[in-house]
Structure 1
Amino acid sequence: MASEECKAMLDALNKVTACYHHLVLTVGGSADSQNLREELQKTRQKAQELAVATCARLTAALRDRNLQGEERREFERLWVTFSGCLDLLEADMRRALALGSAFPLHRPRRPLVRTGVAGDASRVAARALSARSLRHEAESDFDALDLGQLEREILQVSEMIHNMEMKVNVPRWTVQARQGPGAELQSVGAAAISSVGCGSVQERTGPCDLSKAKAAAVFGAVLLSAVALAVCVAKLS
Structure 2
Amino acid sequence: MSALSAANLVNNRRRSRSLCAQQLKNDCQAVANSQGVVPTIPTSTSNSRRSSNGVLPSLTRLRIVQCFKSAKPTLGQLILKRACSLRSDIKMFISYLPEEKVEELATDIYNFITNCVNNIEDPDKIGDISIHFGEMHAQLCNLGFRPEFFSTIADATIAECVKLDGGAHKRCETLLAWSQLMAVMFSSVRDGYYAQIRAQRRSSLPQHRQNLLKQASIENRNSSFENDA
TM-score, structure 2 normalization? 0.29
Larger Rg: 1
Higher relative CO (CA 8 A, sep ≥ 6), structure 1 or 2?
2
TM-score, structure 1 normalization? 0.29
